[in-house]
Amino acid sequence: MIVLELSKEAVILAEEYIRGGAIPKSEPEDAYHIAIASVNHLDALASWNFKHIVSMNPIRKIREINIKQRYPIIEIGSLELFGGSIYGNL
């Protein structure tokens, strides 16, 4: 199992998410979560946080920021969307 760490690069990207209005200032952990996945070039991020992460506005802004900062677009959705129920993960 690989554990991804909060790197300086991820902190900088998380600050961009907050500055760009993708994630509220009050939720830096959510910004870190997404930034860690982005800087490590993950294809997708599953979350149950429908208020700050799995929602159209944050997803759209995260994509825009990732493109601007030259990070890959990360697919964001619920575990169910990514097939979690098939694998007994729900």
Q: Please give the residue range of the domain that contains residue 18.
A: 8-77
| Number of domains comprising the chain | 1
From residue 74, alpha-carbon distances to 3, 38, 45, 84, 88 in Å are: 18, 7, 7, 18, 24
**28 in a domain, yes or no?**
yes
Q: 38-60 pLDDT, tens per residue?
A: 999 999 999 989 999 999 999 99
pLDDT band (50, 70, 90) for residue 84: low
**2 in a domain, yes or no?**
no
Cα–Cα distance measured from residue 33 to residue 53, given in angstroms and rounded to the nearest whole number? 9
Where does 8-83 have alpha helices with state H?
8-19, 28-39, 56-68
**13 in a domain, yes or no?**
yes
pLDDT score, position 83: 72
**27 in a domain, yes or no?**
yes
- In the block, tokens 């697919």 appear at 75
**66 in a domain, yes or no?**
yes
pLDDT band (50, 70, 90) for residue 85: low
Cβ-Cβ contacts under 8 Å for 67 (sequence gap 6 or more):
73
- In the block, tokens 């129920």 appear at 85
pTM over 0.75: yes
pLDDT over threshold 80, residue 80: no
**72 in a domain, yes or no?**
yes
